[in-house]
Amino acid sequence: MTTEAIYAAVDWGTTSFRLWLIGADGTPLAERRAGEGMTTAAQEGFSAVLERHLAALDAPAHLPVMICGMAGARQGWMDAGYLDVPARLDAIVGRAVTVPDPNRDIRILPGLAQRLEAAPDVMRGEETQLLGAAGDLGPGSHLLCMPGTHSKWVRLRDGAVEGFSTFMTGELFDVIGKQSILRHAIEGAGPFDGSHPAFLDAVKTACIASARFSNLVFSLRSGQLLHGLDATSAKARLSGLLIGLEIAGARDTAPDALHVQLIASGAMAALYTAALEAATLGATVIDADQAVRRGLHAAASAVWPS
């Protein structure tokens, strides 16, 4: 099956690596996933990591490779630069950089940069998800959310990115839960999902009282000490407060938006869908894996049309 591949698609994050062998119609024929993101690959060597995963799938020796993500960062394999917004998504393809390699045609897609002095912002990797998702959207204005360690909220109009905002929601959740006094409140917490009452209540509270965020977060500790708040509810509440704060901030950038295109997968998609509904915003889920593959396929089809 792998001999039918016409190129390899790679989404190379800071801590993650995903590779697919892709057929002529864009169908994934084989897949590799690993924790060998930019940080690891910078030490071992990007070429070595890539070739090892291609060899594991018996990929042809001269199979071309289309890459998005942190492999194109300054600290990555090769600086792929940024395309300044406002920018059409289809312009990303024309800015792909070529990695010198004696055996393969390897391209890395650029990121997007918002150079406003009052709101500087960057993304790398998510622009390819946007490229893949845009085909599902009609003309007009759209507000898109890509949740994660650094969630991205994007304002898209007729296939062009007008602006975007990054929210450090996932990273703050990790830092607060592990390095602040609140670690005692959530220690031993069990799993929860978007139906948990503490999560939903926290989202609603943060949306209407975002200025009190640091006070609301401390209530996890005081709630445990004074009212016996259990660890799972405390963790669900912390998640809800952070996601609610994110939604409140995103609403400031697009106050007229009533519906969100949510580019996410699995548990994250379910959690954010519940949060958006609690914040009285409609949501349509676009699978994140499919979106990035479609974006990489659009780029590959333009670069290697044959």
* Residue entry with tokens 């669900």: 236
Same topology, domains 1-115 and 125-306? Answer is yes
Give me the mean pLDDT over the 234-256 stretch: 96
pLDDT at site 2? 45
pLDDT tens digit sequence for 163-212: 999 999 999 999 999 999 999 999 999 999 999 999 999 999 999 999 99
Identify the CATH homologous superfamily for domain 125-306. 2-keto-3-deoxy-galactonokinase, C-terminal domain (3.30.420.310)
Q: Where are the domains of the chain?
A: 1-115, 125-306
CATH 3.30.420.300 fits 1-115, yes or no: yes
Query: Residue 145: left (phi > 0), alpha (psi -120 to 50), or beta?
Result: beta
pLDDT at site 282? 94
pLDDT at 3 over 80: no
pLDDT tens digit sequence for 127-159: 999 999 998 898 999 999 999 999 999 999 999
pLDDT tens digit sequence for 278-291: 999 999 999 999 99
Query: Distance (Å, rounded) from C-alpha 253 to C-alpha 242?
Result: 17
pLDDT at 57 over 80: yes
pLDDT at site 107? 98
The secondary structure of residue 120, as a DSSP letter, is -
The sheet with strand 65-69 has its strands ordered as 28-34, 17-22, 7-12, 65-69, 106-108, 97-99
pLDDT band, residue 299 (cuts 50/70/90) = very high
| Cβ contact 97:78 at 8 Å | yes
